[in-house]
Amino acid sequence: MRTTVSVEPPPPAWLVDWLRKPSYAQLRHSIVVGARCGANLRRIGAQVAEQLNIIDPEARNFWKAFEVEHLRHFAGDPDHRDLILSGAPPEPHQGAPDSDLDRIARRLARMGGAVLEGQYSLDATDDLENTFRICLCNSNPTCLQPCHMWLNPQRFSRESLITVIADSFLDWTSRHPTGPHFEPAS
């Protein structure tokens, strides 16, 4: 009888490098982009991270976009989950997060240098002071959850939307006190 043993690959090098990034002192804020309209959040998140790596000299190329699929994978894989959550400080809000997915999204956002995408990430990080929250929508945002910025993507070119998000974030960070500083994962 032949048995097959599946071996999970080790965490990708980019994740290990990002979690242990030496630029922690500079990257204490993160961005979360959600949408209430048809918007390619995967592309927008990646381009915002790329733009911040270009225009933010303190970033040292450590801005990283995390898609919802990344978060789900990290929460479901014990090695990735342990790597991300190791050394995580206690949660500052009332009660513990509901799931590993919540804990992963919150940990990445609290570390700084993350661009998270999607409504799930907006919900999971709603009380984090170091997180700049953007919602893309085509209608009146008054009845929706609070964000730092509401943008109608139909009013921007692809390039200008990314630039507005990145510049507004950098402006916000210059006026917003940094949250607590957390050590990188060991």
Q: Is residue 44 very low, low, confident or very high in pLDDT (cuts 50, 70, 90)? A: very high
Kindly state whether residue 182 falls inside one of the protein's structural domains. Answer: no
In this structure, of 38-42, 104-108, 121-125, 160-164, the range with the lowest mean pLDDT score is: 38-42
Q: How far is CA 143 from the centre of its chain?
A: 24
Rounded average pLDDT over 20-27: 55
**Is residue 121 a part of any domain in this protein?**
yes
Residue 164 clears pLDDT 90, i.e. is over it: yes
At residue 7 the predicted structure's pLDDT band, cuts being 50, 70 and 90, is very low
Q: Of residues 76 and 11, which shows the higher confidence score? A: 76
Cβ(32)–Cβ(133) below 8 Å: yes
Tokens describing residue 20: 């242990």
Mean pLDDT of 48-63: 81
Is residue 89 a part of any domain in this protein? Answer: yes
pLDDT for 24 equals 47
| Domain contains 9 | no
Cβ neighbour number for residue 7 with a 10 Å cutoff: 5
Number of folded domains that form the chain: 1
Question: What pLDDT, on the 0 to 100 scale, is given for residue 48?
Answer: 94
Distance, CA of 79 to CA of 134 (rounded, Å): 31
Residue 129 counted as domain residue: yes
Burial class (CB in 10 A: 0-12, 13-18, 19+), 135: buried
Is the pLDDT confidence value at 38 over 50? yes
The answer to whether residue 92 scores a pLDDT higher than 80 is no
pLDDT at 175 over 70: yes
8 Å CB contact between 117 and 33: yes
Please report whether residue 16 resides in a domain. Answer: no
The CATH number of the domain where 60 resides is what? 3.40.50.300
Lowest pLDDT segment from 15-29, 71-85, 105-119 = 15-29
Range of the domain at 115: 26-175
Position 168 pLDDT exceeds 50: yes
* Residue 17 within any structural domain of the chain: no
Q: Is 108 part of a structural domain of the chain?
A: yes
